[in-house]
Amino acid sequence: MRLHLLLLLALCGAGTTAAELSYSLRGNWSICNGNGSLELPGAVPGCVHSALFQQGLIQVYFRTVELIEEPIKGSPGLSFYFKINGFPIFLKGSNWIPADSFQDRVTSELLRLLLQSVVDANMNTLRVWGGGIYEQDEFYELCDELGIMVWQDFMFACALYPTDQGFLDSVTAEVAYQIKRLKSHPSIIIWSGNNENEEALMMNWYHISFTDRPIYIKDYVTLYVKNIRELVLAGDKSRPFITSSPTNGAETVAEAWVSQNPNSNYFGDVHFYDYISDCWNWKVFPKARFASEYGYQSWPSFSTLEKVSSTEDWSFNSKFSLHRQHHEGGNKQMLYQAGLHFKLPQSTDPLRTFKDTIYLTQVMQAQCVKTETEFYRRSRSEIVDQQGHTMGALYWQLNDIWQAPSWASLEYGGKWKMLHYFAQNFFAPLLPVGFENENTFYIYGVSDLHSDYSMTLSVRVHTWSSLEPVCSRVTERFVMKGGEAVCLYEEPVSELLRRCGNCTRESCVVSFYLSADHELLSPTNYHFLSSPKEAVGLCKAQITAIISQQGDIFVFDLETSAVAPFVWLDVGSIPGRFSDNGFLMTEKTRTILFYPWEPTSKNELEQSFHVTSLTDIY
């Protein structure tokens, strides 16, 4: 028998870490479970014959997954990270909700579009949220194919559930069926009993009297431990199981299945939301073992809203805007957070103000989630004040169920918000992360690769008033170790400003990137030395684009008259995505590619094209 291995998905690259091996076996053979030539853990009883492979009717997948909870030097508590095929993997991604309010509208094309956008943004994991649905078979098949790991919640969320026998019988049938249906998918790496119910119970979200709490705890353990957990252990021993998210993992088990603080930074995973504190201040965020939910809202683009609204709706104070906002106080929170660092739109034209505000909420959301995610990524290798060793960042949320303001990075229908373009960069396999602490500027190098690479770090400083850098520095060549986050650069801000001549915090901005032999290895990242609303010398940029076509791809050759923050390219309702967007443009020219999802033309793009940068809304 000749064995030919085709490695479909690698352990690194464009976010793919759920390794799928499709084995093409030639000759006459069979794979049998338990009594044949090759034993497959978790396989259904019986044999798989070569004829099925030759007809393309079946694939076999091999993947191991371990949830590592062990002591960490210099910190109380336990680690919480995943080993996939023996490699520690930092889980990068988002939370998945149903793709539509009406499931019969979720087509194969839409599923592939959304999941391909996951891969294209360098994500490797989706958490299927327990307040949604068990997804259709095709969702998991596509995740297997694309190398997207799945954290699978059972469908219990934000509530206290009964434990009468009729309800338990219903749960038993539901969970047993879903385990049997889904366990063959290598993309699924963990089962979770529920979303936030342990925290809801122990933090007393529902104002249970102290005397009644033991009854609710007993019901909780009955449902998730004595029922669901036992079904998972009986039906699928190949994956870890946790009772809830957030949870303290092994510590929750030690505390009789409910922890006093399920959202602890020292165990398990955390959910974190804070719309009032300054999201540019990284010290606001929890230095946790694993962040499985966090996020900020924004409004979807005008072209998405226009399909379901009328002229009278185009205001943040309209009945439409209030109806579509299902997070209490959400619209005010967005404007408050944006106002911390940006001037709010000032147009006298109501429609212009509405469009500019949409743009600014997307800028705010993207910058907030970027700051928080980069904090988690640079925390993977360090313990500070006994906290750290962060090994997962899954922001809330990936997709939208309708056209409305939400935490999503993909609008209803799949159009990329600015956040999703930012995610493509802040989830890059190699990334330099800049931040300040005690008036010192640091740059960490973060690597999710499994190999070490030799490279340099380039740091440039621009004034807002000039497209030429006022100073630059390139480090000596160093080796970036795979799977680590380390400090590469450290300089007091006062020295940096003095070294660069006439710079002040308000007049200059820093950019930096990793490279080797003149080849860019990372996205170009940046650090604002002050709030953009305090920027000195920032001019209104005149940005033009010449559009050309190369095969199925369109080329946008951009030229700017001035440094331009948050450059946003938009082609309205033409389906597709740009190679980058929402970027800081510090060079006079830049080339951006557009990948259409449906046939279009240069003429259509030219008619629909609109570019916005920050000063355009003032």
Residue from 156, 166, 268, 161 nearest 222 by CA:
161
Residue 291 neighbours by CB distance under 10 Å: 28
The dihedral through the CA atoms of 503, 471, 614, 304 has a sign that is negative
Residue 305 neighbours by CB distance under 10 Å: 23
Longest Cα separation, the chain = 78
Helix, strand, coil shares, percent, the chain, to 5: 30, 30, 45
Residue 434 phi, psi dihedral angles, 5° rounding: -105, 145
Q: What is the number of helices (H) and of strands (E) in the chain?
A: 15, 33
The dihedral through the CA atoms of 322, 323, 329, 334 has a sign that is negative
Neighbouring residues of 297: CB distance < 8 A, sequence distance ≥ 6: 327, 330, 333, 334, 361, 365, 405, 406, 407
| CA atoms of 244 and 564, how far apart (whole Å) | 44
Residue 38 near residue 31, CB atoms below 8 Å:
yes
Residue 200 near residue 160, CB atoms below 8 Å:
yes
| CA atoms of 126 and 516, how far apart (whole Å) | 32
The region, left, alpha or beta by phi > 0 then psi within -120 to 50, assigned to residue 27 is: left
Q: Which amino acids are annotated catalytic?
A: 196, 293
Residue 552 neighbours by CB distance under 10 Å: 9
**Residue 410, strand partner residues:** 416
Residue 118 neighbours by CB distance under 10 Å: 28
| CA atoms of 461 and 510, how far apart (whole Å) | 5
Residue from 192, 239, 245 nearest 84 by CA:
239
The DSSP result for 358-409, as a single string, is HHHHHHHHHHHHHHHHHHHHHTTT-EETTEE---EEEES-S--SSSS-BS-S
The DSSP result for 321-362, as a single string, is HHHH--STTHHHHHHHHHHTTSPPP--SSHHHHHHHHHHHHH
Residue 328 phi, psi dihedral angles, 5° rounding: -55, 125
* Burial class of 438 by CB neighbour count within 10 A (0 to 12, 13 to 18, 19+): exposed
Q: Which residue has the tokens 């009883």?
A: 45
**Residue 95, strand partner residues:** 127
Q: What is the DSSP letter of 223?
A: I
| CA atoms of 446 and 171, how far apart (whole Å) | 43
What b-and-e string marks burial along 72-95, b requiring 16 or more CB atoms within 10 Å of the CB? beebebbbbbbebeeeebbbbbbb
